[in-house]
Amino acid sequence: VDKLGILERTKAITQIQSSLLAGYEHDFGKYSDKVSAQHIQAIFDNVPVQLSKNIDNSVKRFKFKGVIDKKSRYQALFGPIDWLEKCRLLSRCHPVDCAPSSPLSALTKDNIFKLFLFDVGLLGFMLGLSYKEHRDQGFSYKGYIAENFVQNELIAQGVGPTYSWEYARAEVEFLYKCDDGSIVPVEVKSGKRTRAKSLKAYVERYKPKTTVKLIGSTGSIEDKTALVLPLYYVSKVSQLLG
């Protein structure tokens, strides 16, 4: 593969991704009954679609209606969602709509959450995004791809389930609980612009000791109370915040 050009390498990667998805689909049927397998598949396929329908570059709560025919309530979809989550193919992020405090789990509802896919490469493949679209800095998908990336990195660090903050039209993508119990808002920006109205609204209401902005370019850690970091620095969040 190393000797191939970019187009050939891209084609080789998509073939691998297609094979992986076929393997997952086979496992859905192998480890569950026929009806459950269909429901698991429906939810798995629907998550990328709902992620792509983000508003203002921010992922919204997972909607149950329309995913499985004649089933529109969380109770009916709990089993397949839980199965996929235990297999680590999906992960949840629960919104908090009040003043954040520890434990964050006490401020959420079981049936209200966002769902993210475990791999951003497969996310793009399932949505049919081309290599050119991935390279296009102005393409509108960047927001939810970046948010899914940050979610996966936090989960990999053992930060899970994750939490976000919502109030009126303001939303901060993630809330990080430090070792001392304090809550740090984490804003995700896929582009180079660092302006964050929602983070400003959060700061004005709750005055956190530290804020974090993860952006699609180089950042700065000179101001320890208002960190602006490149997206990949999410892997260092635990070290920086404690």
Question: Model pTM?
Answer: 0.90
Which stretches of 31-141 are DSSP H helices? 34-52, 74-86, 120-126, 131-135
Q: Residue 199: what pLDDT?
A: 94
Residue 48 CA: distances (Å) to CA of 23, 85, 221: 18, 15, 33
Residue 70: its pLDDT value, please?
Answer: 87
- Which residue positions in the chain have pLDDT lower than 50? 1
pLDDT for 192: 65
> In this predicted structure, what is the pLDDT of residue 217?
80
> What are the DSSP calls for 173-200, one per residue?
EEEEE-TTS-EEEEEE-SSS----HHHH
Confidence (pLDDT) at 2: 56
Of the candidates 124, 127, 188, the residue with the CA atom closest to the CA atom of residue 153: 188
Q: How far apart are CA 128 and CA 122, in angstroms?
A: 10
Those residues with Cβ within 8 angstroms of residue 82's Cβ, 6 or more apart along the chain or in another chain: none
